[in-house]
Every structure is written in C-alpha cells, then in structure tokens.
Amino acid sequence: MKAALQAYVDLINAGDADGVTALFAPDAVIEDPIGSEPRSGPAIAAWFADTVAYQTRITPVAPHRGSHADEALLIFDVEFTPPGGQRLRIRSADACRFDEEGRIISLRAFWGPDDIQPA
C-alpha cells in the first residue's frame, strides 16, 4: 500500500495521468474533498487529466502510513494552478482503501477551506 501511495505521488509529479489512473480499480471511487460529489469510472481519468493540466506537484509532509488491514494514508501538500487562477497550495490527507490486487478502490481526501492558501 505504501508503494502504491509513493507511485501515486511519483506519477502525478511526472505528469502521467494514465499511470495514476491505472493505480485505481475499475470500480474505484474518489471523494476529494470529503463532502463533494464522488467520482468514479471515466470521471477518475478526467480528474487526473485535469490534475496534470494544472501542473500539480505533491510533496509528502510525513511518511506514508499503513494499517493492519486494507487502508493507508498519504499526508501531503499539493500545489496546482487552476485555469485562469493563481497557484494554490492545499494541505491534505488522503485515506485510501485497496483491493486484493493492491489497486486503490477508495480515496477520501481530508481538507477544507481553511487548508487552501496561495502557493
């Protein structure tokens, strides 16, 4: 699980939307941030295409955390530039659940309005 989280960081930082999308199971769900409309299926690929287009960079701020079950946590800062906007930083923690094949089946991002600031 920790290796998959590191691959997630590395692939986003490399601008590899297809590689990131491949880390997810076909029936995966992303809720980023928690409380927003969940994304699944083709919406996940579109999400990561936008992630790459926004020149996203992820910087872990703590070691990846695993569990004795099927979940792990990535604690990080993410910087990106939305269309027509200024570069932003969000302090986030992504809780991921994995299937038996090591693919992400659920990603829930913990951040709110007070976690966003100019980069």
Q: Which residues contact 18 (CB under 8 A, 6 or more apart)?
A: 45
Catalytic residue of the set 27, 32, 94, 99:
32
Identify the CA nearest to 90 among candidates 81, 103, 99.
81
The reply to whether 27 belongs to the active site is no
Pairing of the two strands 88-98 and 104-110: antiparallel
Strand 39-40 with 24-31, pairing: antiparallel
Tell me, yes or no, if 54 is annotated catalytic. no
Annotated catalytic residues are 8, 32
